[in-house]
Amino acid sequence: MSSSLLYGLGIMSGTSLDGLDICYVEFKENDDNYFKIINSKTFKYNSSWVNKLTNIHLKNDLEIKKIDLEYGLLISQKIMEFKKDNNISNLDFISSHGHTVKHKPPDYSIQIGNGKIIRKLTNVTTINDFRSQDIKLGGQGAPLVPIGDKYLFGKYDSCLNLGGIANISYDYIGNIKAFDICGCNILLNKYSKIYDREFDQSGKLSSRGIVIPELIESLDSISYSFIEGPKSLDKEKLLIDNYKVIDDYLANKSGVDLKKIGYNILATIVEHISNEIFKVVSKKNNLKNILITGGGVKNIFLIDQIKKKLKCSVIIPDEIIVDYKEALIFAFLGKLRLQNKINCLKTVTGAKIDHSSGNIFN
């Protein structure tokens, strides 16, 4: 390793299936507040991988193990491509979140992306599986990003990420609290397909609709915001709860052209997301500002609705932070793990103790 600087790759794949995020970051060995993003890129998944990752939770254990190896190979190939394209020679470690297959705390949390294979193929120290140890210690295994919010983005009162699932972290009497709020892009992306779109670009689709009173009432009634953290949402439960409510509504409209009411469905989802965020943030009277990142930031209509409801200052950072904050923080988690420093907070996950988590393959 370098004497005073550490160079790491953070690897992230989220529930939105946007692609594999890779972020090359410079850290200082003895300064946990310092970072510098040098290069970053998102490798889009082809249709085969989108299909595989969408349906992987339905596979049996043997099939999941096979995909785990295949996904480890994919990550390794993209890392080597990324290193070559950016002429990277100085690399101390790879820190990979992988892709979450099943998340059912307190029983288990499973991510694919075999760390042993990544280490073997890249010949670089690799850290992965940050969640299992936390589960064993009685935690949720999530969220993990708040340790990065504390050290790298500590100047903000709160950090909100609008990914597949919306989640938040904030300081509470000297401790970091963090939890998932509601489905976000995972919902918008699904119903954007009514118009043969992968996502609602800039919120152009949802902004054309009006909120459906009975649907917003149903969505808001399955609110998770009344549960204070530690709490992490199960994607499968979201599928059951949220999709069922929307699909039941659509079933009652059989015979109606979907393209005529799709805008209203999307507008209602945006209203639901902004309502749930408001419910959480409004309880925290001391929040003067909130940093918002994640793909949902690019949905202008969604951001406008959030801004209208929140009384605190809404801060949108540079695009590279919007897009790669989570990959950056997973690189940071790896840095802390290599130094045997705490990277998992009990106040966030509900574990018995703060701890240093992640499997290291040297």
All structural domains of the chain with their residue ranges: 5-142+352-361, 158-311
In whole angstroms, what is the distance from residue 229 CA to residue 347 CA? 8
Q: Are 43 and 76 in contact (CB under 8 A)?
A: no
Assign 1 a pLDDT band (cuts: 50, 70, 90).
very low
| Topology (CATH level 3) of domain 5-142+352-361 | Nucleotidyltransferase; domain 5 (3.30.420)
Do 4 and 28 contact (CB within 8 A), yes or no? yes
The pLDDT value recorded for residue 239 is 62
Distance of alpha carbon 191 from the chain centroid: 20
Q: What is the pLDDT of residues 69-109, one digit of tens each?
A: 999 999 999 999 999 999 999 999 999 999 988 887 778 88
Contact 10, 334 (CB under 8 A): yes
Dist CA 331 CA 133 (whole Å): 18
pLDDT mean over 288-311 = 96
Are 5-142+352-361 and 158-311 equal in CATH topology?
Answer: yes
Both structure tokens of 241: 């709860």
H-state helical runs in the chain: 47-55, 61-85, 115-122, 132-136, 146-152, 185-192, 213-221, 235-238, 244-251, 258-282, 300-309, 319-338, 346-349
In sequence order, what are the residues at sequence separation of 6 or more whose Cβ sits closer than 8 angstroms to the Cβ of residue 80? 121, 122
State percent of the chain over pLDDT 70: 94
Task: Say how many C-beta atoms besides its own lie within 10 A of residue 181's C-beta.
Answer: 23
The pLDDT score that the predictor gives to residue 341 is 98
Tens of pLDDT, residues 293-303? 999 999 999 99
CATH number of 158-311: 3.30.420.40
Calpha distance 152→115 (Å, rounded): 25
User: What is the C-alpha to C-alpha distance for residues 211 and 217, in angstroms, rounded to an integer?
Assistant: 10
User: Cβ(277)–Cβ(294) under 8 Å?
Assistant: no
Query: What whole-number distance in Å separates Cα of residue 227 and Cα of residue 294?
Result: 23
- Give 210's pLDDT tier (boundaries 50, 70, 90): very high
**Joined tokens for residue 42:** 């998102």
Q: Can you tell me whether residue 39 is helix, strand or coil?
A: strand
Which range has the worst mean pLDDT, 17-21, 225-229, 237-241, 291-295? Answer: 225-229
Please, what is the average pLDDT of the chain? 92
